[in-house]
Structure 1
Amino acid sequence: MNFRISCLLFALLLAGCSSNPTQPTQSQQSIVNQTDDAVTEARFSQNLNALLGAVSQTQEIPLPTLEIGFLDAKTIPSIRKLVLPPSGTFKKNWMAYRKRFIEPVRLKAGRAFWEQNQAFLSQVEQDSGVPAEIIVAIIGIETIYGRQTGNFRVKDALSTLAFSYPETPNKSARKQLFKDQLKELILMCWTEAGGKLPAKNSSQGVNSARFSACLNQNSSYAGAIGLPQFMPSSIRSFAIDGDDDGQIDLKQSPKDAIASVANFMKKHGWQTGMPISFPVHVSGINAAKALADGEPQVKFTVQELIDQGILTKQQGNLQSGGVEPQSKAFIIDLPYPDKDGHDQVQYVVGLHNFLTIVQYNRSYFYAQSVAEFAEALGYKNQSVVPVESVSKSTAHIKNTGTPSKPKNQAQRRK
């Protein structure tokens, strides 16, 4: 593991010697750094070997195979810096974040990607109920359709964050998350290489070169892979072979990426034909401010928000593109500094589908960017339930107490 002692720790070492009038020489500092590197490297190897041993035992994968696969694993100092929280003077800036993604180059690439995959996107939308615009928007924001998929070896990225996470308030939880993802990576690569789980103490049928290639594939600094930037656990749970070639390739196959994003959204509860969010009515901004608590939980009914002037009556009406009055919602706050540096906030009412996007990336900025990117591609952020369907649904509820099951969004648009 080739990383140098952090500036903070180095400063503490100097402070500890402050009573000594003689400052450490350059050679003494180098010795301290080398010692720290050696200790940290040994700890990294010990923890990694312990994890490999546990996976080998629980999944019956031969330990030598795992050890060979991770023989050259290393920590990446730049990754440790990338996951550090922002400084205390940092201000969240929704407008700057939005500008990074809702911009001409990415939108042009999105339209080209849609045109190239139009037939398949239409089929996936019909099968899953997830709008093509949402799928295209997610892949565009994540990687500009494969242009920016990361340049770190995935085993290095996950190993660094699992065993060498920097000192932060959430260090323990984050380390555990990446340990779990590292385990998922091993299991994913084992099965991709032709192995079965548990392996029954045999590597028969496993392509060792393919196993190694899987561990060494490129990822983001956090270990996300391919066009849609799926973590290993998401690949194992939600990725789909969209092009029916017998394998899932999120790096080279747009169809696999499209089908996998749709499946992720569907499995996380995407409501077909329903909008994502509503703008707050100008007269209800103060009321919205009082209800914005930052918690991603739908806790108010749309009718309650209408009563407080946050939404209009139209937004509680399916026939006018809204939702049912008893639908649940919550308040989203999108802070930014204005041109004079004063704190400002844009408020939005998030619905169930907004939370589904948050499951993809736990950020209000991200989810709102996906929604607005999709709208720039033509997505209509409103219910698409025909009036006759609403009437039939209402009649069905009166007769049986159960709403009738809607058709998928693609069919409703016809």
Structure 2
Amino acid sequence: MNFRVSYYSSILLIALALMACSSTPTQQANTKETIVNQTEDAATEARFTQNLNQLLAQIAQSQEIPLASLETGFSDAKAIPSIRKLVLPPSGTFKKNWAAYRKRFIEPIRLKAGKAFWEQNQDYLLRTEQESGVPAEVIVAIIGIETIYGRQTGNFRVKDVLSTLAFSYPDTPNKASREQLFKDQLQELILLCWSEAGGSLPAKNSSQSTNPARFKACLNQNSSYAGAIGLPQFMPSSIRSFAVDGDGDGRIDLKQSPKDAIASVANFMKKHGWQPGMPIYFPIQESEFSNAKALADGEPQLKFTVQELIDKRILTKDQGDLQAGGVEPQSKALIVDLPYLDQDGNDRVRYVAGLNNFLTIVQYNRSYFYAQSVVEFAEALGYKNQSVVPSMATTNSKTSAKELNSTTPAKSKSKKSSSKKRVK
């Protein structure tokens, strides 16, 4: 990429003048249209380059990273027009369809791959579950839905993706906030890659110890069209905040190390409030959908207690898992709506009651469809969507729920693992 915008613009003007002079009158009409298009493209590229340079200068100053190193790393960065199309919101006529979404992700190929991934990493999955409290089935489901265990990790250079979306996001109502989000992610990528290349942060006087080739290779690694990386599809900020070294080799590799991916997913869920031993959602009977509809506002907030939903007949005590499952009446929930089209093309909606752990999955990917597909994928792998913590009333125990949460999941799962290798 050319970092001297004024020089580039001068050459462009000369080229345009020469093209205009050499055209015949008949050709000029066509050439004029071509020239206009080229000018617009050049102007867009010039703005892209200028904005990127400004951000690199800001990062160099704030993080004390040599500007020359950043310019070298981004010298060939480019905007990718196709990415702008991929992030556009659906058209106004588009209808969300839970049935179609579910069919895309909970299907034989992914499930077969999930069972194979489980068998290959069974011991480490069980250990991670015992340490984090996050069920192995949920971890396996997330990685399977995200990338089919590394088969689909994206084929765009991450620096191009983030640069495109930071400075050339499509004209949408949330354009400004989205561009800021990707500017932040671009800075997170730079800090991540600088550290991986051996540089310290702040990076004052550390340029000599940094491997330039390694820095650029990190910037050039593949990602999704939104800039997510590796088996679990972590954004750069999530890699820096939540990714961990699962295999103990001294580095975090979410692209090639299943253990790093497993440990990182579990750590993300734990840090975002996963409650060990608690269910994720409760089904709602179709006869109560009308009552549930009034409470489904689409906001990802735990607004109701389980007891309130029982009082409104949306849940029953056995569905609420209150008698033997240890779910407190004051546990919070939200009503999740899953619209779909039936076989006749009619609009329908399924409702479920999402608990705290449902909302934790939403933090991974802000979509009710995504969270519900993770749960049902996990259930297809044998996950039991119920509490493993005995209720206080049933046990007459003074042991706190917190103490039970810290011990019961491991015992429950180890017992389960003795039969059928935990895979169904």
Q: TM-score, normalised by structure 2?
A: 0.88
Separation in structure 1 between the aligned mates of residue 56 and residue 285 of structure 2, nearest angstrom = 55
Contact 2:317 2:323 in 1 (8 A): no
Query: What's the counterpart of residue 407 of structure 1?
Result: 406
Structure-2 change in CA distance of 1:99 and 1:403 (3 Å):
closer
Matched, 1:99 2:103: yes
Equivalent of 2:245 in 236, 241, 244: 241
Q: Kindly provide the CA deviation profile for residues 42-81 of structure 1, in whole angstroms up to 9, marking residues without a partner as x.
A: 1001100011000000110000000000000001111000
- Whole-Å separation in 2 of the counterparts to 1:101 and 1:67: 40
Q: Map Cα deviations across residues 186-239 of structure 1 (whole Å, 9 max, x no partner).
A: 000000011100011430211111101000000000000000000000000000
C-alpha separation in 2, matches of 1:220 and 1:282: 38
**Separation of aligned partners in 2, 1:249 and 1:188:** 12
Could you say what secondary structure the match of 1:51 adopts?
A: helix
Q: Measure how far apart 1:172 and its partner are.
A: 0.6
Q: Structure 1 residue 271 and structure 2 residue 270: aligned?
A: no
Question: In the TM superposition, what whole-angstrom CA distance separates every residue of 1:247-289 from its partner, at most 9, and x where no partner exists?
Answer: 1000000000000000000000100000000111233211101
Once the two structures are superposed, what CA deviation does each residue of 1:374-399 show, in whole Å capped at 9, x if it has no partner? 00000000001146896365x356xx
Spell out, residue by residue over 1:336-376, the C-alpha distance to the aligned partner (whole angstroms, 9 max, x if none).
Answer: 12233221101010000000000000000000000000000
**Which of residues 137, 154, 160 in structure 2 aligns to 1:156?**
160
CA separation of 1:208/1:94 partners in 2, compared to 1, >3 Å: closer, same or farther?
same
- Match for residue 363 of structure 1? 367
1:313 aligns with 2:317: yes
Distance of aligned partners of 1:389 and 1:198 in 2 relative to their CA distance in 1, 3 Å threshold: farther
Q: Verify the 8 A CA contact 1:319 1:385 in the aligned structure 2.
A: no
Given that 1:79 and 1:157 are in contact with CA atoms closer than 8 Å, whether structure 2 keeps it comes out as yes
The one-letter code of the counterpart of 1:311 is: L
Match of 2:199 in 1: 195
Q: Distance in 2 between matches of 1:25 and 1:324?
A: 75
Change (3 A) 1:121 1:392: farther
3-state SS of 1:273 partner = coil
Matches of 1:171 and 1:121 in 2, distance apart?
Answer: 40
Is 50-59 or 313-322 further displaced after alignment?
313-322
- Aligned partner letter, 1:313: K
Q: Confirm or deny that 1:170 pairs with 2:170.
A: no
Counterpart residue identity of residue 282, structure 2: F
Is 1:208 matched up with 2:212?
yes
Task: Report how far residue 314 of structure 1 moved.
Answer: 1.6
Give the 3-state SS of the residue equivalent to 1:313 in structure 2.
coil
Question: Aligned Cα RMSD in Å?
Answer: 1.8
**Aligned AA (2:149):** Y
> Equivalences for 1:47-126 in 2 at 5 Å?
47-126=51-130
CA displacement at 1:30 relative to structure 2: 1.2
CA contact (8 A) 1:61 1:200 kept: yes
How far apart, in 1, do the equivalents of 2:172 and 2:97 lie? 22
Distance 1:314 1:76 in 2: 53
Q: Return the letter of the residue paired with 2:180.
A: Q
Distance 1:261 1:28, change over 3 A: same
Q: Which amino acid aligns with 1:110?
A: G
SS in 2 for 1:204: helix
Distance in 1 separating the partners of 2:326 and 2:318: 6
Equivalence for 2:15:
none
* Runs of 5+ consecutive residues of structure 2 not aligned to the other structure: 2-27, 416-424
What secondary structure does 2:339 align onto?
Answer: strand
Corresponding position of 1:352: 356
CA contact (8 A) 1:75 1:160 kept: yes
Give the SS at the match of 1:353. helix
Asked if the contact 1:69/1:215 (under 8 Å) is kept, the reply is: yes
More displaced stretch, 84-93 vs 142-151: 84-93
Alignment correspondent of 1:144: 148
> Residues 269 and 356 of structure 1 are in contact (CA less than 8 Å); yes or no, is this contact kept in structure 2?
yes
The alignment covers a number of residue pairs equal to 388
| Amino acid paired to 1:156 | D
Distance 2:399 2:358 in 1: 28
User: Which letter maps to 2:406?
Assistant: K
Q: Which residue of 1 aligns with 2:25?
A: none
**Percent sequence identity over matched residues?**
76
Q: Is 1:339 aligned to 2:343, yes or no?
A: yes
How far apart are residue 133 of structure 1 and its match? 0.2
SS in 2 for 1:32: helix
Kindly provide the CA deviation profile for residues 103-156 of structure 1, in whole angstroms up to 9, marking residues without a partner as x: 000000000000000000011001101000000000000000000000000000
**8 A contact 1:52–1:67 mirrored in 2:** yes
Cα distance in 2 for partners of 1:199, 1:65 equals 11
CA separation of 1:147/1:389 partners in 2, compared to 1, >3 Å: closer, same or farther?
A: farther
Q: 1:390 to 1:180 in 2, by over 3 A?
A: farther
